[in-house]
Structure 1
Amino acid sequence: MVSVFPQANSANLSGVRLEIRALQPQLVEWRRCFHQKPELGFQEQLTAEFISRKLTAWGIEHQTGVAQTGIVATIQGKTGGKVLAIRADMDALPIHEMNEVPYKSQHPGVMHACGHDGHTAIALGTAYYLQQHRQQFTGTVKILFQPAEEGPGGAKPMIEAGVLKNPDVDAIIGLHLWNNLPMGTIGVRPGALMAAVESFNCTILGKGGHGAMPHQTVDSIVVGAQIVNALQTIVSRNVNPIDSAVVTIGEFHAGTKRNVIADTAKISGTVRYFNPLLKGFIQQRIEQIISGVCVSHGASYDLDYWSLYPAVINDSTIAQLVRSVAEEVVETPLGIAPECQTMGAEDMSFFLEAVPGCYFFLGSANPDKDLAYPHHHPRFDFDETVLAMGVEMFVRCVEKFCN
């Protein structure tokens, strides 16, 4: 096929085999097609149809409509053996794109601002290459095109739909294009890579009144302000300094007029941590602090607290396999970045709770091309050279794991 878009400038791909380098124009075209037609979680109909058409044309067995819009492609090697899953998320974000590029989003208010279009293109290229080279590996590869990573989460519904069964998956890998690392760097480490994330909304119920007569009121703003300050002591005084954790208050809404004491205040926040042993602990401390401050002021409260994703915990053996592959693919001085943890969260964590695996970062920033905006920014974009590197990483992981 001939690309309808200009090919991106290519850097040195010396660690990428010639056949995968030859796929680069197609990878760019697919990625830009996805970028032009972004879709929110569980709405990835156009994306899924595009993937299914390609898989059908290549003779790859696949199941559609998994967890609403997900796809599972199965590629059988030359003989039976181990089963490796590869996961790629497909969804976009409710962000209006500010990039002026030929492949700019055609869906107003929706944008691939986190690199999932690249993840999908890499997984599609991996499927194509493996199907053409089935005699070069044993075992089975299952490629999981997952919906709704950005929320409310598609990994858990896919697991519940049985994607890790029939045949049973022995291990799973996935990657995230990462503009926090320079283009071509591989970020891989055993253990915790990304944080667990929990959220809460709290309404402080006070007693409103006139600003000139505060003794007749219970000032919800004063109560809320003290709660915000007190919550910061959880990390500084209740969590072991060796463990990383974050409690962030992102919203505080109260009041309608400068001389009216508000009867209610609403605060919302997020909690993040690496150590699974902290699950439940921070939630307990948050409620204890809110309750104590409210009691001391004569206020009451309504707290809604929920968990989103657990921490992304890499299996040490699979992480070492990925690192060994990375050492073959990346060129110096780019190299490997083992200290690449982030308090960002990812529902790849559910897969890693179910089977051993490794999630890793593929550096995609290139400031020289003005491609270094952070994830979820309306001008996010990445150096497409890394697409071929992503395919090479996945293919070598398959060959090393299955053979």
Structure 2
Amino acid sequence: MLKQIQTTILDEVISWRRHFHANPELSYEEHETSDYIYKILSALPRLEVTRPTGTSVMAVLKGTKNSAEKPYTIAFRADIDALPIEEETELECKSKNPGVMHACGHDAHAAMLLGAANILSEKKTAINGEIRFIFQHAEEVLPGGAQELVKKGVMEGVDLAFALHVTPYERTGTICLRDGVFCAAADDFEIKIIGQGGHASTPELTIDPLMIGAEMTTNIQSIVSRKISTLKAPVISITQFHAGSALNVIPEYAEIGGTIRSLHSDSRVKAREYLEQIVKGVADAHGARYELTWHLGYPAVVNDQTAVNISRAVMGEIFEEEQVIIVDDPMFGTEDFSAFSEIVPASMQFLGVHSDELGQAYPLHHPKFKIDEGALEYGVRYFVGIADKLCGRNQQLKRSGGLTPS
């Protein structure tokens, strides 16, 4: 059985991943990708396959095993969209779509979940409960596909939700585990300062938006250092400052942009309130007007302890103890899996995908980002292991080797 899985399912998982990587599609444009996934899942007669939105897919496996134990309904999620990045790798499966690349590992996420769906669909009679395989669109762009799917009802009746995200910072054969806050909430802002332009030789006749913007930029940093406890302090970064086009002209307006990343809901709200106070106060002090626009992002992903304990138990059956890395600190990146974790107990963890053969480990969202395809098996086994724990498949997972029936 192990050999059969290795030569069929795992080879297919790699093939699927390469197809996704070569044919990336941007958020809300995942038409070919979702059609491809739908076709694969529809070929498995034990699954009920639907299209919750035009570019997403959900497959449902309803077990027929009779058991006195409580039947669980669990959800597995993989995101499927790519990024607007020109790929700079030399892979054979390099992106065929100019300016679009799977630089965040969503191709691997989708392939691993397809592998798990394939394996689990063969075990319908051994499953007590329901498994939902969610292939989600538009993780990378607000308002996010997860929120849309929640509104479509894909999480109704779900007891627990699980997801993996690849990380190039850890090696293949390792997995990262974290309880509590997993990643940050993100809120972006744009400030337009409207002053009064004039000649650079007579600044006293102007309302200089550059000077006002510089003052705002400096004062905004006091939010973290002086307004919010260091135990809950967010990260606030000014990332854009645009003004003027001539060296001898004080411009009419200046534009500032940036982002707030927060781990705590109360500090998230306070940071926005303080920023608004600063912008208004500085503008008023200089007689300028302003326009402040917020782009409220995803909430923080919070891993539920019960769901994490299930993840931990499954990891213990797949990985050696030293291969399970306990993560002390959350990351300040964002993930719209938070739309799921807000309403059901959930666990999202990092899967290591780097090897020496790849050379330098490039970060997520980098044009040279690559993964070790040998890591895909671990992701497949993780999802199958979760199903084993919660839906009573009575399948044994061994540290050495692959999936074998007991």
Question: TM-score w.r.t. structure 2 length?
Answer: 0.92
Instruction: Name the residue aligned to 1:66.
Output: 52
Measure, in 2, the Cα distance between the counterparts of 1:388 and 1:257: 58
2:295 corresponds to which letter in structure 1? W
How far did residue 133 of structure 1 move? 2.0
Return the match for 2:84 from 94, 115, 118. 94
Q: Distance in 2 between matches of 1:367 and 1:200?
A: 40
Equivalent position of 2:22 in the other structure: 36
1:231 aligns with 2:220: yes
2:278 is matched with: 289
- Match of 2:319, as an amino acid? V
Among candidates 146, 153, 162, match of residue 162 of structure 1? 153
CA distance in 1, matches of 2:233, 2:24: 34
- Distance in structure 1 (CA, Å) of the matches to 2:153 and 2:52: 9
By how many angstroms is 1:274 displaced? 0.7
| Contact preservation (8 Å) 2:46, 2:124 | no
1:251 is displaced (CA, Å) by 0.8
CA deviation vs aligned residue, 1:208-242 (integer Å, no higher than 9, x gap): 11111110011101110111111111111112111
For residues 8-50 of structure 1, what are the alpha-carbon distances to aligned partners after superposition, in whole Å with 9 as ceiling and x for unaligned? xxxxxxxx96665443221111000000110011111111111
1:340 deviates by 5.1
Distance 1:325-1:224 versus aligned 2 partners, 3 A rule: same
Note if 1:243 corresponds to 2:232. Answer: yes
CA distance in 2, matches of 1:83, 1:197: 30
Equivalent residue number for residue 37 of structure 2: 51
Q: Which amino acid aligns with 2:18?
A: R
Match of 1:277 among 246, 266, 274: 266
> Following superposition of structure 1 onto structure 2, how do residues 2-401 of structure 1 map, counting pairs within 5 Å?
20-22=5-7, 23-79=9-65, 81-152=71-142, 153-165=144-156, 168-331=157-320, 333-339=322-328, 341-370=330-359, 372-401=361-390
Distance 2:124 2:53 in 1: 28
Q: What is the deviation of 1:183?
A: 2.2
Taking the aligned partners of 1:137 and 1:20, their CA distance within structure 2 comes to: 19
Q: Quote how far apart the aligned CAs of 1:331 are.
A: 3.3
**Deviation of residue 368 (structure 1)?**
3.7
SS at match of 2:161: strand
Assess, with a 3 A threshold, how the Cα gap between structure 1 residues 17 and 394 changes in structure 2: closer, same or farther.
farther
Relative to structure 1, is the Cα distance of residues 322 and 17 closer, same or farther in structure 2, using a 3 angstrom cutoff? farther
- Unmatched segments (≥5 aa) in structure 2: 393-406
* Aligned position for 1:13: none
**Matching residue's letter, 1:42:** Y
The amino acid across from 2:155 in the alignment is L
Equivalent-residue separation in structure 2 for 1:284 and 1:17 (angstroms): 57
User: Normalising to structure 1: TM-score of the pair?
Assistant: 0.92
Identity %: 38
Give the distance between the partners of 1:253 and 1:234, measured in 2 at CA: 22
One-letter code aligned to 2:215: Q
Question: Any idea what SS the aligned residue of 1:279 has?
Answer: helix
Q: Which moved more, 1:388-397 or 1:289-298?
A: 289-298
- Counterpart of 2:400 in structure 1 is none
